[in-house]
Every structure is written in structure tokens, then in C-alpha cells.
Amino acid sequence: MRVLVVNAGSSSLKLDVVDGGERVATEQLAAERAVIDAGEVAGAVLRLGAVDAVGHRIVHGGATYAQAVRLDADVVRELGELAALAPLHQAKSLAALEAVDAVLGDVPAVACFDTAFHATLPAAAHTYALPSAWRERWGLRRYGFHGLAHAYAARRAAELLGRPLAELRIVTCHLGGGASLAAVDGGTSVDTAKFALDRFDLGPTWFWPALQPQLDRLVDELGLQRFEQFETGDLLVERSERQPAG
């Protein structure tokens, strides 16, 4: 089976055709921020040739999607509603999805979520130190990112060690246009950290703390006073730096 894998990352759009577990063709397009050139995508898809299915990497599945799902109009609409939780990625992923669908609309398509791998995080790992009423009303929690990469890294580490994944405790690292760590116990994500607050600055994404989009939405909905922000929009760091001494 030939599968087109669509990966909208921080600074590029990667299109790979996988057949029998092997990558047989690839195209990579520049895609800064949330900008997708539908014409370029269409040309790349046509150059890659016919496929039997399409798999889209989608950064955020929210609390609803804890595993891969067949795409239809309702699913796409719900994913669009999650854009506030991943403003630099979700819109780009959905724009890529739309551009590919314009060419391969009759080909079955599946969404695979970075957050799904971290759906197993225990409360101690996914709970932010915020009022419980806020967490419940707006779904404020740690969702985790780069889950597809962490899941692969854990499986691959087990293969290279020649040991069953179920008996291993592993710390996996994702280093790309952005960075994160995951603690994986027996193949299950039990904790994760995204290098935003620590200023692990590998690209424009990391000027935004992990909680920034959720706090922005909360500030707007509650009508709270917003501090004047830096060009990066870094509310968390700005608030901590502007607290009066003592």
C-alpha cells in the first residue's frame, strides 16, 4: 500500500510516500509560520504519484482524539476549533490537509495526533497550578507535543537494545525546529516537558510557552487586564519579570 504522509512542521511541509514501510519518494516545501501555498502542494502531490491513503500529522487532538481517526467534515471542523491550543501549528496542518484534499479528495485520509501519545499522562503530570474551576471550564492542562516522534523514538530504542519496550523506562528527546522530552514507561508516556519556559530557542515556536495560547484565551474570555507584551507575546515570562521586588 502506498501512503502519502503529510507532516506540517514549524518551518516546512514534508510530503513522503511510504510503501511497505519504506519511504520511496519525498517532497519538502518551505512553509514558514502558518503559510501554505496550495499551488505548490498540489504540484508536489502530483509529482509523487498515485497513493492508496493519506496520513496527516496533526499537532493537537485536544481531549477528544486520543488515537488516529478517519477524517471527515465533522472531524476537520472539530480540529479547527482546537486552533487556539496550538496557534502556530494547527492552522498550518489544516491548511495542508485542505490543499492535499483538493487533489486527493477521493483517497481515504487519516489524522494522527502528536497529543495522542501523551493522553496517558497521570494527573500529577498534566495538571497546571491553576484554579480548578479554570481548568475544568477551559480545559487548561498539559497536553504534550511531538508525541509521534517520542513514540517512534521509544520503539526504536527498544529495537536497538534488543529488549521488549514493555520492560523499559526511557527518556526520549525530540530535537528539531522545536524540542521536548518525554518519560516513557513500558511504552506509555508518563511525563513530558516542552522547552518553552526554559528558552531552548531553536526556532520561532519557542518564543511561546506551552501554556501561552491557553492563557491568552483565558485572559480574553475573562476580560482580565493584559500586560503590555514583548514582540514575542510572551505573557508568562513578562509577568514574572514585571513583578515588583519584594
Q: Which residues are catalytic?
A: 114
Residue with cell 536497538: 160
How many residues would you count in the chain?
246
Residues 64, 72: Cα–Cα separation, whole Å: 15
CA–CA distances in Å: residue 104 to residues 53, 56, 76: 9, 13, 16
Helix (H) or strand (E) run with residue 48 in it: helix 38-48
Cell 496557534: give the residue.
87
State the virtual CA torsion across 166, 7, 53, 74 in degrees, nearest 10: 90
